[in-house]
Amino acid sequence: MVGATKESDLKILKLSEGLYQKLNLKRVYYSAYVSINQDKNLPTLKSPPLLRENRLYQADWLLRFYGFKADELLNETHPNFNHILDPKCDWALRNIEKFPIEINTADYFTLLRIPGIGIISAKKIIRARREFLLDFTCLKKLGVVLKRAKYFITCKGKYFNNINRFNPNFIETNLMIQERNDLPKPQFEQLSIFDHLLPTKEDNIKCLTGNL
């Protein structure tokens, strides 16, 4: 239950990581706390922490499928996720010395660390470059979304068209503007007994995190 108590995102994520590693759990679920009853013993929130819940789901995906560790994504200095940037972008900016990454030489697991490159895209890149060297046009033809990735990669040693140099401040500023514009507006509606027929929260999260 996210937001019901004062645990940091780091503590929640490390708990999830422990459940995966020690108990071989297949799936951990997160739910934003919604205040229904008014009581002095219950926390009072202005609104459900839905974005925080989403960030935890995105980070959980990175733990299970992208080879990240909880201590990589967060630490005691940064115990909570950035509400504007997704966890992988936030990690990349805090580890900017690992970038840019050359698309034509990086191994599969390194490709997965690039913001915007998901599992499917990484596999396509590995297969395609066996035949020829890739440039940005090739990546687009492969269906690789460059919205985030373009800031963190080179193709044949070259940066993306409008990126003249690898400048961390330039990257962060552009990503912050981009992500702020993309943040969904919170919407609340009364649940009905027929909600089980609609797409589940897990279905929606998969759509959001399928290409981190």
pLDDT per position as a tens digit, 123-166: 999 999 999 999 999 999 999 999 999 999 999 999 998 676 67
User: How much is the pLDDT for 188?
Assistant: 45
Of the pLDDT bands very low, low, confident and very high (cuts 50, 70, 90), residue 192 is: very low
- Candidates 83, 161, 149, 150; CA nearest to 116 is 149
Tell me what the mean pLDDT of segment 169-186 comes to: 80
- What residues contact residue 66 under an 8 Å CB cut-off, 6+ apart? 88, 112, 113, 119, 212
CA–CA distances in Å: residue 183 to residues 48, 133, 180: 16, 35, 5
Residue type for position 72: E
Question: What is the pLDDT at residue 64?
Answer: 96
pLDDT greater than 80 at residue 184 = no
9 pLDDT more than 50: yes
Rounded mean pLDDT of 153-180?
86
DSSP string covering 102-134, please? Answer: ETTT--HHHHTTSTT--HHHHHHHHHHTTTS--
Stretch 16-27: mean pLDDT? 95
Q: Before 100, cis peptide (omega within 30)?
A: yes
pLDDT at 182 over 80: no
What is the percentage of the chain residues whose pLDDT exceeds 90? 66
Residue predicted with more confidence, 178 or 80: 80
Mean pLDDT, residues 18-43 taken together: 86
Beta-ladder partners of 154: 102
* Stretch 165-189: mean pLDDT: 76
Bridge partners of residue 32, in order along the sequence: 2
Query: Averaged over 90-104, what is the pLDDT?
Result: 95
On the question of pLDDT at 195 being above 80, the answer is: no
| Domain ranges (residues) in the chain | 1-81, 84-188
State the pLDDT at residue 197.
45
Q: Is 19 exposed, middle or buried (0-12, 13-18, 19+ CB in 10 A)?
A: middle
pLDDT averaged over every residue in the chain: 86
Alpha-carbon gap, residue 47 to 78, rounded angstroms: 23
Residue 41 pLDDT exceeds 80: no
pLDDT computed for residue 200 by the predictor:
55
pLDDT of residue 193: 43
Query: 194 pLDDT band (50/70/90 cuts)?
Result: very low
Q: What is the pLDDT of residue 207?
A: 46
Spatial contact of 78 and 107, defined as CB atoms under 8 Å apart: no
The DSSP secondary-structure symbol of 101 reads E
Joined together, the tokens standing for residue 207 give 């759509």
